[in-house]
Amino acid sequence: MRLSTRNQLKGRVESLWPGSVMTIVKVTLDGGQLITASITKDGVEELQLSEGDPVTVLIKSTEVMLAVE
């Protein structure tokens, strides 16, 4: 599959926290960083996600913010 999304980060599913409609998915990236995604329960089922599964995190946004102190 080819995608136009430039921010593609490889990792593994660390944990799944299902809610009534959405599921919080924690992914440990190959560099050790942890990233959190909120996806529908249907999405989790369609992708058949389980802890330990390899995934690619796709980040597509028109707005990116930075902050410094």
Domain boundaries, the chain: 7-57
Residue 62 reports pLDDT greater than 80: no
CATH tag, 7-57 = 2.40.50.100
The answer to whether 35 touches 57, Cβ cutoff 8 Å, is yes
Higher pLDDT, residue 4 or 50: 50
pLDDT value of position 4 = 86
pTM of the complete model: 0.84
User: Which residue bears the tokens 């369609």?
Assistant: 46
pLDDT in tens, 1-36: 788 888 899 999 999 999 999 999 999 999 999 999
Q: How many CB atoms lie within 10 A of CB 22?
A: 16
pLDDT value of position 58 = 93
- 38-43 LR contacts (CB < 8 Å, sep 24+): none
